């Protein structure tokens, strides 16, 4: 697998779309503390079929959620945010049918990390 590069015509738009989508995948501290007890999971299912894949920027540009979900920086930002709350992030992972065909759905799973004080 080789490396490829692509030009982003409007970096400001790209960064806006990145931040918009990242904020959609972040839950606030109160909800984390209320909904995510030890050994319980919180799951995001993100649809990326048709218009569900689009992120609309204020300047009219459109970016795809599916591209960000494959982006290592996107995953790193999710991990960095949830680490503050002792939450482990799995994914984003693309979901496939048993026959291997694409479902255009992605899974992000959160789990509270056990700490010595949590027993």
pLDDT computed for residue 117 by the predictor: 60
pLDDT computed for residue 32 by the predictor: 85
- What does DSSP assign to residue 114? P
Residue 93, φ and ψ in degrees, nearest 5: -125, 130
Mean pLDDT, 10 residues at a time, the chain of 119 residues: 56 94 93 75 92 95 95 96 93 94 94 67
Residue 10, φ and ψ in degrees, nearest 5: -130, 95
Lookup: tokens for 93: 């992972």
Task: Indicate the domain borders of the chain.
Answer: 11-114
CA angle 71, 74, 79 (to 5 degrees): 130
Whole-model pTM?
A: 0.83
pLDDT computed for residue 5 by the predictor: 47
pLDDT computed for residue 7 by the predictor: 55
Alpha helices in the chain (DSSP H): 11-24, 29-35, 65-69, 72-83
pLDDT computed for residue 23 by the predictor: 96
pLDDT computed for residue 115 by the predictor: 65
Rounded to whole angstroms, the Cα distance separating 66 from 9 reads 19
């Amino acid at each position: 697998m080789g490396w490829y590069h692509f030009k982003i015509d409007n970096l400001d738009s790209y960064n806006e779309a990145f931040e918009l989508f990242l904020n959609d995948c972040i839950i606030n501290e109160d909800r984390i503390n209320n909904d995510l007890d030890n050994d319980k999971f919180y799951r995001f299912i993100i649809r990326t079929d048709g218009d569900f894949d689009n992120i609309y920027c204020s300047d009219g540009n459109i970016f795809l959620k599916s591209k960000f979900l494959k982006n290592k920086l996107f995953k790193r930002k999710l991990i960095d945010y949830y680490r503050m709350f002792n939450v482990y992030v799995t994914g984003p992972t693309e979901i496939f049918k048993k026959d291997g065909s694409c479902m255009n759905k992605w899974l992000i799973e959160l789990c509270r990390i056990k700490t010595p004080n949590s027993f």
